[in-house]
Chain A
Amino acid sequence: MCLALPVQIVATDPERSAALVEIEGVQREICTMLLDTDSTPGDWVIVHVGFALCRLHEDAARETLALLAEGRARSQAPGKKL
């Protein structure tokens, strides 16, 4: 139900709060009125039931991946046993 997908915006129509995205090779229009800032083509957003719910931040994604690649979730301090 909360199924939502990352998609890239192909074109925008700010007047109608609409954007064109590609989902699995099919172009579809989504509504962008829930985003707090204007979107531009190339932006990635999370789409749910035809609405862009939020923007995806590439810096944060890269940071998460870097932590993963270093093999640590957050910290590696030796812990006490429960």
Chain B
Amino acid sequence: MKYIDEFRDPKLAASLLADIHARMPDRPPDNPLKLMEVCGGHTHAIHRAGLPSLLPDSLELVHGPGCPVCVTPTGRIDDAVVLASEEKSILCTFGDAARAPGSKGSLLDAKATGADVRVVYSPLDALALAETHPDREVVFFAVGFETTAPAVAATIVRARRQGIPNFSVLSNHVLVVPGLKAILARPGSKLEGFIGPGHVSCTIGSEPYRFIPEEHGLPIVISGFEPLDLLQALLMLLDQLTQGRCEVENQYQRAVQPHGNPTAKAIISQVFRARPHFAWRGLGPVPGGGLRLRDEFAAFDAEERFSLPGKSVPDPKACRCGEVLVGAKKPWECGAFATRCTPENPLGACMVSSEGACAASYAYEHRRQVSWEKATG
């Protein structure tokens, strides 16, 4: 078992696709069945496998808010840029987060003008930098859902145990359930089911999604990331819909347990607490939508240790991310798409990371459309 190749078998994929077409309920083209894949990793995997052009026309996959870099508000990036520009500081973050635009540019732009910004693979790499540079302030700009939060929490616990005084975290961690609640509360959402995030669910399990069938009467199937996983999850959703069921089902049983990973959940709640509100780009303030360090860990909280502008910066007026995120608009229906807003120069949240809805559309659909237009004159 290699856990990848087995789930990419093209013959099985073809037969699953045939089943999806056969079991697809009749829908008029102007009223497609809208299913949301919550996780940006799924958005990327769906496009990479070319699924949008293989699935029935009356089945529309709506790309959800599950791209933590995309939803990090502009004001928080500005705070990180300010911190990075301090002479003593080294600002560490993941590659995607370094590219996210603030109102005065991204962290990579700050690096180009002399700030010490380092792209790291793991928060532990940032901690190691703090150990080897005791004369500098090392700040880790943390973004991520419940997949990433336990790793950052574990790094903070280790920093405290090792007594490393020059390490801190600027937490922009977001939580998937409050995000989903915000999506479902938005008017205009015609969503009829969800593909649940696979790796967030490794931590939180399948239980926290029960409000979706219980309070909203909608099905959700947690899925893995290979093509067969996604096709099977879609089929499971179609089965629920056509049989009139709505449940939380778990396609990704090899990794996701009903109660998730208790150790990972425990370390999150040891180190973090939910903020009353946290603004998400494209969605606005989400109640309980973000994590902040607990008072016991204030010594490692960059918000406590440094004075930050902490301004809230409104999303650009032209940006339609909020509507894109609930499936009310397609990325190309935004006036800025592929003109003022491109992956090289993102204007809005959904174009920031390759996992964002607009970036995925741009990478996989826009180019195809442009070359088609060129070819056909």
Q: Footprint of B on A, CB under 8 Å? A: 1-4, 6, 31, 33-36, 44, 46, 48-51, 53-54, 56-58, 60-65, 67-69, 71, 73-75, 77, 79-82
A71-B145 Cα distance, complex, nearest whole Å: 34
Instruction: Contact check, B263 vs A35: say whether CB atoms are below 8 A apart.
Output: yes
A53-B197 Cα distance, complex, nearest whole Å: 14
Q: Footprint of A on B, CB under 8 Å? A: 1-4, 6-7, 12, 15-16, 19, 23, 25-27, 33, 39-41, 66-69, 94, 96, 121-125, 143-145, 147-148, 150-151, 154, 197-200, 202-203, 228, 232, 235-236, 239, 241-244, 249, 251, 253-257, 261-264, 267, 353, 355
The interface residues of chain B lying within 8 Å CB-to-CB of A3 are 41
Distance (whole angstroms) from the CB of A58 to the closest CB of chain B: 5
Partner of A77, one of B96, B121, B243: B243
Instruction: Contact check, B66 vs A2: say whether CB atoms are below 8 A apart.
Output: yes
Q: Contacts A2-B148, A46-B202 given: A73-B253 contact, CB under 8 Å?
A: no
Partner of A1, one of B143, B241, B253: B143
The interface residues of chain A lying within 8 Å CB-to-CB of B239 are 73-75, 77, 79
A58-B253 Cα distance, complex, nearest whole Å: 10
A49-B144 Cα distance, complex, nearest whole Å: 11
The interface residues of chain B lying within 8 Å CB-to-CB of A68 are 12, 16, 228, 232
Instruction: Contact check, B243 vs A49: say whether CB atoms are below 8 A apart.
Output: no
Q: Contacts A51-B154, A82-B241 given: A74-B236 contact, CB under 8 Å?
A: yes
The interface residues of chain B lying within 8 Å CB-to-CB of A74 are 236, 239, 249
The interface residues of chain A lying within 8 Å CB-to-CB of B236 are 73-74
A54-B257 Cα distance, complex, nearest whole Å: 10
Distance (whole angstroms) from the CB of B130 to the closest CB of chain A: 15
- Interface CB pairs A-B, < 8 A, 8: A1-B69, A2-B66, A2-B145, A2-B200, A51-B154, A56-B255, A80-B243, A82-B241
The residue of chain B having its C-beta at the shortest distance from the C-beta of A44 within the complex is B3
- Besides A31-B154, A46-B202, 20 more A-B contacts (Cβ < 8 Å) are A1-B67, A1-B148, A2-B198, A3-B41, A4-B147, A31-B124, A34-B264, A44-B3, A49-B148, A51-B150, A51-B151, A51-B154, A53-B261, A54-B256, A58-B1, A60-B254, A68-B16, A71-B19, A79-B241, A81-B242
The interface residues of chain A lying within 8 Å CB-to-CB of B1 are 44, 58, 61-62
Instruction: Contact check, B122 vs A53: say whether CB atoms are below 8 A apart.
Output: no
For the complex of A and B, the 4 pairs showing the least CB-CB separation, nearest first, are A79-B242, A50-B122, A73-B235, A6-B3
The interface residues of chain B lying within 8 Å CB-to-CB of A63 are 253
Chain B CB within 10 A, most for which of A3, A60, A67 = A3
Instruction: Contact check, A48 vs B151: say whether CB atoms are below 8 A apart.
Output: yes
Instruction: Contact check, A34 vs B151: say whether CB atoms are below 8 A apart.
Output: yes
Instruction: Contact check, A71 vs B244: say whether CB atoms are below 8 A apart.
Output: no
Instruction: Contact check, B144 vs A61: say whether CB atoms are below 8 A apart.
Output: no
The interface residues of chain B lying within 8 Å CB-to-CB of A64 are 232, 251, 253-254
The interface residues of chain B lying within 8 Å CB-to-CB of A61 are 1, 3, 6, 253-254
Partner of A49, one of B7, B121, B203, B253: B121
Distance (whole angstroms) from the CB of A82 to the closest CB of chain B: 4
Instruction: Contact check, A81 vs B151: say whether CB atoms are below 8 A apart.
Output: no
Distance (whole angstroms) from the CB of A5 to the closest CB of chain B: 8
A33-B261 Cα distance, complex, nearest whole Å: 12
Instruction: Contact check, A2 vs B144: say whether CB atoms are below 8 A apart.
Output: yes
A35-B262 Cα distance, complex, nearest whole Å: 9
The interface residues of chain B lying within 8 Å CB-to-CB of A48 are 147-148, 151, 199
Instruction: Contact check, A46 vs B199: say whether CB atoms are below 8 A apart.
Output: yes
The residue of chain B having its C-beta at the shortest distance from the C-beta of A75 within the complex is B239
Q: Contacts A64-B254, A68-B232 given: A6-B4 contact, CB under 8 Å?
A: yes
The residue of chain B having its C-beta at the shortest distance from the C-beta of A53 within the complex is B202
Instruction: Contact check, A2 vs B150: say whether CB atoms are below 8 A apart.
Output: no
Distance (whole angstroms) from the CB of B1 to the closest CB of chain A: 5
The residue of chain A having its C-beta at the shortest distance from the C-beta of B263 within the complex is A36
The residue of chain B having its C-beta at the shortest distance from the C-beta of A3 within the complex is B41
